[in-house]
Amino acid sequence: MPLIDSKNSLDANSPMRDSVVMIAQPYQLYIERTDASKNMARFYAMAIEPT
């Protein structure tokens, strides 16, 4: 009996294949959250890079 919890396996053969070439454009995300009533100011930054 396979140890999966659905009918779709993430390891199954897919008609789509990963590209050998990575996209050259870097991705960046910056989010700010502030709440003056709680004296809170936060920021979150994320970058996806080729290395």
Give mean pLDDT in consecutive 10-residue pieces for the chain, a chain of 51 residues. Answer: 60 57 75 95 88 68
pLDDT recorded at residue 21:
61
What is the token pair recorded at 4?
């999966």
Q: Give, as one character, the DSSP assignment of residue 38.
A: G
Query: Cβ contacts of residue 9 below 8 Å, gap of 6+?
Result: 2
The pLDDT, as a whole number, for residue 25 is 72
Domain positions in the chain: 24-51
The model's pTM is: 0.41
Residue 14's pLDDT is 56
Q: Tokens 């990575």 — which residue?
A: 22
Using an 8 Å Cβ cutoff, are 47 and 27 in contact?
A: yes
Tokens 């294949």 locate to 17
